[in-house]
């Protein structure tokens, strides 16, 4: 099975040109397989959660907390939904032609690409200066949480830390998303120079054939990777036990009870007061 496609340059050399669309089907299949495997696993998982009685006791002892706790500010929510819309347009414009739906996709694709790029640049600036930049990253400091989560998965009642603002799974997913997202944006911006747009005069000679080939292949690889990642993301967003998180991406807040049930207050401290969290919020 071919994974990459090759062509002859005007000088007769073999150069990479594109990824093979087999990879698109592979990524689609892997995404669907993942959700079937995860859904089956969840039927049997012994995951140890805080019981209702424990959460009741915690709630009784933390009456100082606001009833609604802000999880995502308006700007962060707008960014999320603009990025999601751009991402769907990009995926559909790129892959509908592969499944046989023919239309002039390139124009819609690069316009959505510019929207995605602008939203990411905006988000980096917003997260750096207004939000807690590190609350979403994963590092050695998370090893105790990882161990505790694994033991809870096997039904053990362990005292190790629960998550801060973002559960470990979210943060690992985000890392994969950042790497593939940045790769697709960086390569896409170079590819834009090669196509006809009203923005500037196209320049297909910016790179040699071999470099263009590597750029198209990297863009294609990151693009097919995003197919699987987006399937996994949507799957988790629609799972009933995650609705409280999805709802917070629409409304912006979670309840005090959800906060105490799912988080380690020392790792995501929230100010007392009528309605607000400390400004630890981000997407």
Contact call for residue 228 and ligand HEM (CB under 6 A): no
* Segment near ligand HEM (CB under 6 A); pick from 60-68, 69-77, 206-214, 218-226: 218-226
In the complex, least distance from residue 235 CB atom to ligand HEM, rounded to whole angstroms: 17
Question: Quick check: 90 binds ligand HEM (CB under 6 A)?
Answer: yes
Please report whether residue 109 would count as binding ligand HEM according to CB under 6 A: yes
Residue 233 interacting with ligand HEM (CB under 6 A): no
Residue 18 backbone phi and psi in degrees, to 5: -150, 170
Instruction: Please state the closest distance from residue 204 (CB atom) to ligand HEM, in A.
Output: 9
Q: According to CB under 6 A, which residues from 117 to 156 bind ligand HEM?
A: 117
- The correct pick among 94, 229, 260, 277 for binding ligand HEM (CB under 6 A) is 94
Total binding residues toward ligand HEM, as defined by CB under 6 A: 25
83 binds ligand HEM (CB under 6 A): no
Q: Among residues 82, 85, 189, 214, which is the contact residue for ligand HEM, using CB under 6 A? A: 189
What Å distances lie between residue 21 and 5, 26, 94, 96, 108, CA to CA?
9, 9, 11, 12, 20
Q: Smallest gap, in angstroms, from Cβ of residue 208 to ligand HEM?
A: 16
229 binds ligand HEM (CB under 6 A): no
The Cα-based distances of 185 to 152, 158, 218 in angstroms read: 38, 42, 11
In the complex with ligand HEM, the residue whose CB is nearer, 191 or 231, is: 191
Residue from 177, 142, 139 nearest 160 by CA: 142
Q: Where along the sequence are the contacts to ligand HEM (CB under 6 A)? A: 18, 87, 90-91, 94, 106, 109-110, 113-114, 116-117, 184-185, 188-189, 191-192, 194-195, 216, 219-220, 223, 226
């Amino acid at each position: 099975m071919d994974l990459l496609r090759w062509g002859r340059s005007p000088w007769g050399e073999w150069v990479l040109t594109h990824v093979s669309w087999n990879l698109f089907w592979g990524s689609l299949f892997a995404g669907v397989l993942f959700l079937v495997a995860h859904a089956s696993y969840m039927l049997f998982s012994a995951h140890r959660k805080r019981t209702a009685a424990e959460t009741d006791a915690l709630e009784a002892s933390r009456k100082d907390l606001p009833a609604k706790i802000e999880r995502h500010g308006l700007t962060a929510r707008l960014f999320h939904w603009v990025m999601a819309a751009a991402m769907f347009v990009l995926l559909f414009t790129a892959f509908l032609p592969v499944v046989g739906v023919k239309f002039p996709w390139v124009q819609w694709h690069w316009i959505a690409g510019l929207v995605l790029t602008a939203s990411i640049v905006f988000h980096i600036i917003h997260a750096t200066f207004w939000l807690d930049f590190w609350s979403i990253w994963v590092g050695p400091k998370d090893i105790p949480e990882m161990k505790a989560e694994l033991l809870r998965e096997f039904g053990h009642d362990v005292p190790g830390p629960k998550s801060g603002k973002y559960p470990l799974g979210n943060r690992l997913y985000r890392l994969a998303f950042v790497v593939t997202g940045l790769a697709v944006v960086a390569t896409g911006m170079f590819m834009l120079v090669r196509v006809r747009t009203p923005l500037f005069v196209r320049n297909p000679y910016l790179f040699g054939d071999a470099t263009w080939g590597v750029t198209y292949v990297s863009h294609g690889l990151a693009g097919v990777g995003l197919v699987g990642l987006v399937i996994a993301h949507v799957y988790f967003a629609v799972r009933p036990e995650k609705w409280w998180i999805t709802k917070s991406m629409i409304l912006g807040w979670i309840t005090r009870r959800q906060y105490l049930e799912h988080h380690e207050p020392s790792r995501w401290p929230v100010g007392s007061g009528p309605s607000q969290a400390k400004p630890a919020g981000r997407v």
